[in-house]
Amino acid sequence: MIEWNERFRLGVKDIDEQHMQLFDIAGRAYELINNDFQTDKYDGIIEILEELKQYAVYHFKFEEEYMASIGYGKFLSHKVLHDDFIEKVNGIDMRQVDENQGQYLLGILDFVVKWIEGHILGQDKKYAGLE
């Protein structure tokens, strides 16, 4: 699991706080998976996935408005990456979530965490002028 640290800081207060929230959502998902006292985790998994979807849409909209406001030249290609992420998350197979709760969610979290890390460090730092 990956946790927020200073290497992810862009220096744009609201966006940094939103990124921290995305890490928090992922952290709560890992805690749920590793909770040995809760055998049926389906409802909790669904709740976290829904929160992730909603928060990602909110964050991407905010970030896209920020990029537009500063005249970021690669805005459209950056937006495509956001759209692809939302499409992937919306394509989560709820039947698999029910049948293979821990294993399937770990695969989703692995994708989400790697995507967020790579996106912040590889893409977001560009519009923040840090790369």
In eight-state DSSP terms, residue 118 is H
Task: Quick: pLDDT tens for 53-96.
Answer: 999 999 999 999 999 999 999 999 999 999 999 999 999 887 87
Supply the CATH classification number for the domain 11-127. Answer: 1.20.120.50
Q: Crossing angle of helices 101-119/42-69, nearest 10°?
A: 10
pLDDT value for 77: 96
Other beta carbons within 10 Å of 82:
18
pLDDT value for 19: 96
Distance CA 130, CA 127 (A): 8
| pTM recorded for the entire structure | 0.90
Task: Quick: pLDDT tens for 93-114.
Answer: 878 777 776 777 788 888 988 9
Given pLDDT bands bounded at 50, 70 and 90, which one contains residue 1? Answer: low
